[in-house]
Amino acid sequence: MRLPSLTDQIFIKAQRLRSIQDKKVQKVADEPHLEFIGIINYSAMALIQCEKGVAEQPDLNYEQAVEAFEKQIERARKLMLDKNHDYGEAWRDMRISSLTDLILQKLLRVKQIEDNQGVTIASEGVEANYLDMINYAIFALILKNEFVDE
C-alpha cells in the first residue's frame, strides 16, 4: 500500500516542529502543538487507507469516517497501553524534541518502505510505524500540557 501524499504531509508537520525546536523561534504564529494533532490525524487517515484501500472518490459517509477514525485511534491506544505495560511510562522522562526525532525516524522508515513498494526484509511495516507516530504525538501533547501547567 502506497500512501506517499499522507506520509509527506506528516513529514512536513514533523519537519516544521523540528525547525521550531531547533531555531527556538517561529515566523508563522500558529501553535506548534497543532502540528502534533495533524500528525495524529494524518496517521489515522493513513491507517484507514491501509485497511480500506485508497479511494478515487469519497467512499465513506460522515458516520463511517468517524467510526473508522475512532477504530484506528483505539488501535493506537491499545498499543500504547501494551507498550506502557512492558516499558513503563519511560516517555514521561523524554524531551518533546526527542519524540519529534522518533516521529521523523518512523517517517523515514515509512518512506523507505513506500519507495520499495512495501517490500521489507525485517520490519513491522507501515501500519506499526503510523501507530507509533500517533502515540509519540500524543505523548508530546501530554508532556506539553504538563509543562504548561507547572
27/72: higher pLDDT: 72
* The pLDDT value given to residue 29: 83
How far lies 32's CA from each of 17, 24, 58, 109, in Å?
7, 11, 30, 24
Residue 146 has pLDDT above 50, yes or no: yes
What integer best gives the mean pLDDT of the chain? 90
Q: Whole-angstrom Cα distance, residue 130 to residue 19? A: 22
Q: Whole-angstrom Cα distance, residue 70 to residue 148? A: 28
pTM of the model: 0.90
Residue 58 has pLDDT above 60, yes or no: yes
Residue 150 has pLDDT above 70, yes or no: no
Residue 67 has pLDDT above 70, yes or no: yes
